[in-house]
A and B are shown apart, each in its own frame.
Chain A
């Protein structure tokens, strides 16, 4: 029956508004149970994703919880102007960029390197074991990882500082020290995500034609040269795409991690947009101002993601959407 009506519509050169309407009503009725199935999901997206989008308008208001969105006075771009002319803005922007770029520089190459090493292993069993081990931290929460970091590095009771002392060195302040805060974030990130990051490269490597390696061996290429001239070029497009997409996400620093590792002594180098929004918005109740800050971050993020996708497509890849 469905097929029949579709054919009918196709046959009409110009469906009139009325027949189109009838068509819609027919489809709704025919698929009423299907619509019932999607109803909860659709409701979820409308309520929890789109109602808050409407809530963004308070960035242009002086929102007061007692008056609500409809009654609160409009102030235009006042909050944005206040934010941009504020010293905080520079600090947040600097910290976000620093953390993101350091992660890009030091973390990004490691999964590639690790997957090349894994690929060179001859023993499949050993490979499987190492893979199982290095994937695992990905599933641990940031609370656990931050907690372990505190346990191991604490000045008073951490094992690392005890070792330093027994080796004759002075205790080192890892946790409340502005100088190493960024690099500590990067190291945590490396520990948690390097293994997980290899999955996509290993999959790309698995797609390489084995004949290429055979041919290279015939020509006398050793393993290093094979990796350099065959494996690496084979995954180059994946590397380029992931790099571009990561650049598109540069406004996201891994907020839970920063939130957990942050403390009063390092807030100068640790404060990023989300931690700022949380403190000023939720804790101090400046809803409109903090929504404006969040909106700025989201809009910049959106523009970067779209640009990144455009660039990725120019490289002949599909992008993420």
Chain B
């Protein structure tokens, strides 16, 4: 079919506008990445106007990763993302699977319990007091246990398990399997795509752990990455203190700007690595999670 001139103009304008949207989205990230790899001397000479560095260097990264504060924080965040995700997946999937079996007595009541927690939360203080009374302050478990699972994820995963037919387990039960055996040997292997999707979401959540650490971790040697990052990027400009960041920034001849940007890149990198996989799954998750209409 022949396309009119106005149609072509519209196409050209649309492509341009969307390209601009893409550039606006990418530019801040691009600038941060480029500066983080720029030779410190060049950064100072060019006064920050670095869009294409002449010389690439890992100086800022080497320095950051040689400080114990940054290295520890990265390890803690990695621990959260790996151990936390594994635990969350097991607990969430087992709970959701149980709730998806119609013969289970009390499932309607339990679903109600979960729905209530979605609609109403007790605020900040009661959970804080609970974590404190459990003796979890300054423990890495305070960043995992209180967010082990969530009402939304249980409901989403249950709706996924709802589609697994009862007949499938019945055949296994006849072979002498218990419900636990059925769950681990039949249901989970069938649900690997869903587990991967939920696992990625949990992993991103744990890696981005921030506010719970503000609440529960006072000892700065135990801070996860996001908290160290906050201190380096935001607090260091407004207040001075004997914090991890100040300690890290002291006595080096790399400009703090390139260091800060390298820190941002390190904290973003794992997310960019899993992003292509996330992208495959998230549209479905969002559709299930928001409006059902």
Contacts and interface: CB of A to CB of B under 8 A. Distances in A.
A joins B in a complex? yes
Contact of A260 (B22, B49, B234): B234
A222 B180 CA distance: 60
A55 B92 contact: no
A151 B264 contact: yes
Contact of A37 (B17, B97, B278): B97
A114 B99 contact: no
A121 interface: yes
A218 to B, nearest CB: 11
Interface string B123-148: 11111111000000000000001101
Contacts of B25: 133-134, 136-137, 191, 195
Contacts of A241: 291, 293
A130 B31 contact: no
A31 interface: yes
Interface string A269-289: 000001001100110000100
Contacts of B207: 141
A297 interface: yes
Nearest to B226: A143
B211 A238 contact: no
Contact of B120 (A41, A139, A263, A298): A298
Interface in B84-100: 90-92, 94-99
A170 interface: no
Contacts of A33: 178-180
Interface string A128-150: 01101111110111111011101
Contacts of B208: 140-141, 143
A103 interface: no
B94 A147 contact: no
Given A148-B264, A162-B49, A294 B18 contact: no
Interface string B20-41: 0110111011011000000000
B290 interface: yes
Given A44-B148, A224-B10, A245-B291, A130 B257 contact: no
A140 B178 CA distance: 42
Contact of B14 (A37, A121, A139, A263): A121
A126 B229 contact: no
B15 interface: yes
A150 B233 contact: yes
A45 interface: yes
B37 to A, nearest CB: 15
Contact of A238 (B7, B145, B232, B291): B291
A234 B231 CA distance: 47
A154 B149 contact: no
Nearest to B127: A52
A150 B7 CA distance: 42
A230 B290 CA distance: 23
Interface stretch (A10-18, A81-89, A94-102, A313-321): A313-321
A287 B14 contact: no
Given A58-B126, A126-B15, A200-B290, A34 B101 contact: yes
B210 A44 contact: no
Given A45-B113, A58-B126, A147-B260, A40 B95 contact: yes
User: Which DSSP category, helix, strand, loop or mixed, fits chain A's interface?
Assistant: helix
Nearest to A156: B237
Query: Which residue, of B114, B121, B126, B229, has the highest number of chain A Cβ atoms within 10 A?
Result: B126
Given A195-B25, A222-B6, A42 B110 contact: yes
A133 B18 CA distance: 11
Contacts of B123: 56, 277, 291, 293-295, 297-298
B240 interface: no
Contacts of B28: 148, 152, 191
A50 B286 CA distance: 27
B293 A48 contact: no
A150 B90 CA distance: 39
B78 to A, nearest CB: 15
A7 interface: no
Nearest to A299: B120
A151 B34 CA distance: 13
Contact of A49 (B117, B145, B268, B278): B117
A212 interface: no
A53 B122 contact: yes
Contact of B261 (A48, A126, A151, A290): A151
Given A41-B96, A52-B129, A55-B125, 15 more contacts: A27-B103, A31-B179, A34-B101, A37-B94, A55-B129, A141-B207, A143-B210, A144-B267, A162-B49, A200-B291, A241-B293, A242-B290, A277-B123, A293-B123, A297-B123
14 contacts: A31-B105, A38-B104, A41-B95, A44-B145, A47-B130, A48-B130, A117-B18, A130-B21, A141-B208, A151-B257, A199-B282, A199-B286, A200-B290, A242-B291
Interface of B: 4, 6-7, 10-11, 14-15, 17-19, 21-22, 24-26, 28-29, 31-32, 47-49, 90-92, 94-99, 101, 103-105, 110, 113-115, 117-130, 145-146, 148-149, 151, 154, 178-180, 183, 204, 207-208, 210-211, 214-215, 226-227, 229-230, 232-234, 237-238, 257, 260-261, 263-264, 267-268, 271-272, 275, 278-279, 282-283, 286-287, 290-293
What 5 A-B pairs are tightest by C-beta distance, nearest first? A294-B123, A41-B95, A55-B126, A147-B233, A38-B98
